[in-house]
Amino acid sequence: MAFRFQNILNHRKTLLDEKYLELSEARKKVASLNLKIFDVQNSIDSYKNSYPADILNVSDVYGYNILDLKFNSLKYKLAELLKMRESTELELEEKKAAVVRAKIEFEKIDKLREKYLAVDKMNRLKRDEAVVSDFASNRFNRT
């Protein structure tokens, strides 16, 4: 006998797989942002290290403004990336919670299927036992 709720189980499995894919994409996005943040932080560090030598080559206010603008743009980019990472990490937490909820829903139906299969197996064993006892009693009656 087929499991009556197999289509629901299949649907919940599909939803669970989709949630895992969304979680994977969110993790990939966080990792990408972390790499970008690392690159910008390295750029800021290298800028700070090269600043004394660069400031010696500046001969006018325009050159100083350019150095200042580069540093401020790196700081702004870092701040924006940190904000993006914060929102992406919140999204990642939401995706994790969605995966847990989808997994719970899938496991509810899967447990029901397991119980159904166990009951079905017990019924088959009882039928087989009844058939065997019928054969045994028929043989006993013939002799």
Instruction: Return the pLDDT at 91.
Output: 96
**Distance between CA 141 and CA 36 in Å, rounded?**
86
Q: How many CB atoms lie within 10 A of CB 25?
A: 13
Instruction: Return the pLDDT at 64.
Output: 86
Single-letter residue type at 112: L
> What whole-number percentage of the chain has pLDDT above 90?
60
**Distance between CA 143 and CA 131 in Å, rounded?**
19
Q: What burial class does residue 49 get, using C-beta atoms within 10 Å of its C-beta: 0-12 exposed, 13-18 middle, 19+ buried? A: exposed
The domain limits of the chain are 7-111
pTM comes to 0.73
Each residue of 2-22: pLDDT tens digit? 778 889 989 999 999 999 999
Question: Which regions of the chain are under pLDDT 70?
Answer: 1, 138-143
